[in-house]
Amino acid sequence: MPTLTINGKEVMVAPGTNLIEAARAAGVEVPHYCYHPGLSIAGQCRLCMVDIEKTPRPTIACNTVAADGMVVSTETPRVLETRKSIMEFHLINHPLDCPVCDQAGECWLQIYYMQHGLYDPRMVDEKVRKPKAVPLGPHVILDAERCILCSRCVRFCDEVTGTGELGIFHRGDHSEIGLFPGRDLDNKYSGNVVDICPVGALTDRDFRFQVRVWYLDSTKSICPGCARGCNIEVHTSRRRPHHNEGRRVARLKPRFNADVNRWWICDDGRYGFGFVDDPTRLTRPIARDGATRVSGSPTYPGSPRASDALRLHTPTDRAGLSAPATKITWEEAIAAVVDALGRLDPAEMGIVASPRMANEDLFALKQVVEGRGLPPVGFRVPPRVPGDQDRLLIRADKNPNTRGAELIGLDGDVAAILAAARAGRIRLLWIFGHDLFQSAWPEAEVASALEAVDTLIWTGSNANPTSARAHWILPAAAWVEREGTFTNFQGRVQRFRQALEPLGEARPEWEILGLVLGALGAPVTASRAEHWFRALATAVPAFAGLTYQNLGDGGQPVRARALPAQLSLLGEASEGAVEAPSDV
């Protein structure tokens, strides 16, 4: 382990560590553009110059491996002067169009100019003109004039995805990033080039011109798009509600986790948040004509109040509600559910949980079921189109919490439940989240099962063809509107935090289930997701010892022996393990 001195501070680093990472270990930031810990060393931007004792001139830190006894200074007068020069070189042909650039506010040209530049501009000649607003693919757009040719995006496509769409073409100050002929930047991870682009050259077609980044709030979360559970940040626009076309979630960004996703997320996950602010959101409990009414429950007159309309989101025909729907109160909805649960024989009920529900929700559901003789809850619904999977991040299982549902023990046979419904043995179905018409099962079978029951209760965030057939709809909060944990395919339990208030009257499933449980007469003290997690950790051995505190930002694995034997937790964990920390 080499020990070196950086700005007078001694630090010990792993062999092979470069001086940028060694400096980080010593709490020193060496400015840089082209270096990225997840990519090969390019040494092109020349910004990361440092002084090394007994070396005649400043040296790039990215390509210098820390050696025992090395004495490094990052703030000598000539290093500061060199940095200033390099900043000037980076900016002489830059269009300086910050006022109309989406990167403004999170641009490393702006940041480093203020920290290390602050020279008086001397360039009075005409700048080099290059292509602007060039779509590279479905998600990314290029402004070649803003590009500083750090080649991070090129290296990402060469080294991480192995797809090689991008190259640097031409020479000298006419060099520009571009697509190889006949190619599009359409790999499954293309959005990452926007994240690693340190300037405004590559921007997100989805996000650009929507909202200024300084109006965004950031919340740590987990991507719900598949069983990987990539660590993300949810960026929300609340301070300027008229921006971003009124949508609250502006974008998702990857969050470094060495054991899960490193620096990256896939495009399906990145751009998969649209449902949160979609018109199909269910914002109030609903009773549909044909619902088996609870005695004494009043029927609401049809017209929704303006205060319920929630700007953009009213359950309408677009939500797939074909039959006349009536808004009801939560009290009425819970009473209806409890009435049905109490009235029927347990054998006449079927419950289909969702692997998109959080551990807390699933455990609350288990409390509702257990001790009442209810039949086993199932959660596995095979998708009509099998999910794609690759060697990088994407998992075939598009649910974030399949492992959690398994460990909590809700793994009943959904097909058998539906068969029982078709056979008339089940009179009440309670379905969480799923659209069974998107399953691998024939639509006619699904439809006959749903039609056969007297009472269909549906709980979820967005309307779909299955919810359209429900007699009772209990609207659930989207994952960004609540707290919770998912257990990824590796058995890693990870927290997601609340970024937004639930839309309308939507509530987290754990809260809905808590109300049901209370109405059934059980003492419920859990008033936060964390309370349910505590109960879960006490009751389910796999989760023993886990708390919100020790899960932290990066999550923790469940106890290894709780996992199925075929899953090599260590193997999977080490696959993504890296020593390097996160980067810009």
- Applying CB under 8 A, the residues found at the interface with another protein are 41-47, 49, 57-58, 63, 81-82, 85-86, 88-90, 92-93, 122-126, 128, 148-149, 167-168, 170-175
In the complex, minimum distance from the CB of residue 409 to another protein, in angstroms, rounded to a whole number: 54
Q: Which residue, 62 or 546, is less far from another protein as judged by CB?
A: 62
Q: Which residue has the tokens 């080099």?
A: 128
In the complex, minimum distance from the CB of residue 111 to another protein, in angstroms, rounded to a whole number: 17
**Residue of 434, 479, 478 whose CA lies nearest to 457:** 434
**What sign has the CA pseudo-torsion 159, 161, 162, 163?**
negative
Residue pair 52/64 in contact (Cβ under 8 Å)? The answer is yes
Residue pair 37/31 in contact (Cβ under 8 Å)? The answer is no
In the complex, minimum distance from the CB of residue 81 to another protein, in angstroms, rounded to a whole number: 8
In the complex, minimum distance from the CB of residue 35 to another protein, in angstroms, rounded to a whole number: 12
Q: Which residue, 63 or 280, is less far from another protein as judged by CB?
A: 63
Residue pair 535/525 in contact (Cβ under 8 Å)? The answer is no
In the complex, minimum distance from the CB of residue 119 to another protein, in angstroms, rounded to a whole number: 11
Which parts of 214-321 fold into alpha helices (H)?
A: 267-270, 306-309
In the complex, minimum distance from the CB of residue 125 to another protein, in angstroms, rounded to a whole number: 4
- What torsion, rounded to 10 degrees, do the Cα atoms 162, 386, 265, 45 define? 20
In the complex, minimum distance from the CB of residue 194 to another protein, in angstroms, rounded to a whole number: 21
- Please report how many Cα atoms fall inside a 13 Å half-sphere around the Cα of residue 232, on the Cβ side: 30
Q: Which residue has the tokens 């830190």?
A: 61
Residues 6+ apart with CB under 8 A from 49: 58, 59, 60, 61, 79, 82, 83, 86
CA-to-CA dists, residue 358 to 43, 496, 526, 540, 557, angstroms: 44, 9, 15, 15, 16
Q: Which residue, 1 or 124, is less far from another protein as judged by CB?
A: 124
In the complex, minimum distance from the CB of residue 137 to another protein, in angstroms, rounded to a whole number: 22
Q: Which residue, 158 or 308, is less far from another protein as judged by CB?
A: 158
- Nearest-angstrom CA–CA distance, 341 and 339: 6
- Nearest-angstrom CA–CA distance, 223 and 270: 8
Q: Which residue, 173 or 443, is less far from another protein as judged by CB?
A: 173
In the complex, minimum distance from the CB of residue 21 to another protein, in angstroms, rounded to a whole number: 17
- What torsion, rounded to 10 degrees, do the Cα atoms 165, 170, 171, 176 define? -60
In the complex, minimum distance from the CB of residue 84 to another protein, in angstroms, rounded to a whole number: 9
Residue pair 283/460 in contact (Cβ under 8 Å)? The answer is no
Q: Which residue, 170 or 343, is less far from another protein as judged by CB?
A: 170
In the complex, minimum distance from the CB of residue 17 to another protein, in angstroms, rounded to a whole number: 16
Residues 6+ apart with CB under 8 A from 1: 12, 13, 14, 15
Q: Which residue, 86 or 142, is less far from another protein as judged by CB?
A: 86
In the complex, minimum distance from the CB of residue 65 to another protein, in angstroms, rounded to a whole number: 9
Written as one string, the DSSP assignment of 170-232 is: SSGGG-EEEEPTT--S-STTTTHHHHH-SSSSEEETTTTTT--GGGEEEEEEE--SSTT--EE
Q: Which residue, 123 or 440, is less far from another protein as judged by CB?
A: 123
Q: Which residue, 118 or 565, is less far from another protein as judged by CB?
A: 118
Q: Which residue, 109 or 227, is less far from another protein as judged by CB?
A: 109
3-state secondary structure (DSSP) of residue 484: strand
In the complex, minimum distance from the CB of residue 400 to another protein, in angstroms, rounded to a whole number: 41
Q: Which residue, 151 or 490, is less far from another protein as judged by CB?
A: 151
Q: Which residue, 165 or 332, is less far from another protein as judged by CB?
A: 165
**What sign has the CA pseudo-torsion 152, 157, 162, 164?**
negative
Q: Which residue, 46 or 281, is less far from another protein as judged by CB?
A: 46
- Nearest-angstrom CA–CA distance, 277 and 500: 11
- Please report how many Cα atoms fall inside a 13 Å half-sphere around the Cα of residue 409, on the Cβ side: 14
- Nearest-angstrom CA–CA distance, 516 and 522: 9
In the complex, minimum distance from the CB of residue 92 to another protein, in angstroms, rounded to a whole number: 5
**What sign has the CA pseudo-torsion 266, 498, 479, 576?**
positive
Q: Which residue, 54 or 122, is less far from another protein as judged by CB?
A: 122
Residue pair 441/432 in contact (Cβ under 8 Å)? The answer is no
